[in-house]
Amino acid sequence: MRDYEIVYIFHPALDEDVVNARLDRFHGLLTGAEGAEITEVDHWGVRQLAYEVSDQNQGYYVVAQFTTEAGALPEFERILRLDDELMRYLIVISEGEPTSGMSIVAEVEPREGDEDEDDDEDDDDDDEFLDEDDEASPPEFSGGRGRRRRIEGPKIELLNYKDVATLSRFITEQGKILPKRTTKVTARFQRRLGQAVKRARHLALLPYVQDHDR
């Protein structure tokens, strides 16, 4: 058994009762094996798409998490592809992401003397490179040439591909992912970032280019 997450985008004209009926039919294919179960279903409802999908600029989003055998997925996906009201879907192995569009961040522990520190004062720790196992929020640039300072806030422990607000901070106005030499994040975080952006674009949560016609 493995843990999976699926994001559905249904036609925006469907109401919640009709969507639930479809979900019951879909999920029945997944829960036939012993130990398989649907662990969570989160209706996001109708949302604006980042670009047009199936001639629609809105879609009804549902995020579900489930546990099943990998062998159940081919038949499950075959049925999904036959549904004309399902505009798009994405199945991924769950890494513990919340069904909401939020990343998991570390708790911030207050540092002694924070209130007395000058916000404009440069701190050597701000310019340190991250350890390979560390992950942090994107940096911001301030001051003169070559001076970089990380954005204030907790480090990102698990980047959620549905977290549009965070992903957008790593993307240029032309829709390109900022390089690691600019963001100063770890190589591992950069790889996860690229994967997350691709998934978000497939789900029309992010545009392929920033000036994409809605």
Predicted confidence at residue 111, as pLDDT, reads 55
Checking if the pLDDT of 144 tops 70, the result is no
pLDDT tens for 80-139 read 999 999 999 999 999 999 999 898 887 655 555 555 444 444 444 433 334 444 444 444
| pTM (2 d.p.) | 0.77
Q: Which two tokens stand for residue 108?
A: 């911030």
Using DSSP, state whether 62 is helix, strand or coil. Answer: strand
Predicted confidence at residue 67, as pLDDT, reads 94
Which is higher by pLDDT, 70 or 144? 70
Judged on CB neighbours under 10 Å (0-12, 13-18, 19+), 175 is middle
Checking if the pLDDT of 31 tops 70, the result is yes
Handedness of CA 98, 101, 104, 108 (dihedral sign): negative
User: For residues 166 and 103, what is the distance between their CA atoms, to the nearest angstrom?
Assistant: 8
CA 173 to chain centre: 19
pLDDT tens for 175-192 read 889 888 887 888 899 999
User: For residues 206 and 189, what is the distance between their CA atoms, to the nearest angstrom?
Assistant: 19
Mean pLDDT, rounded, of the chain: 81
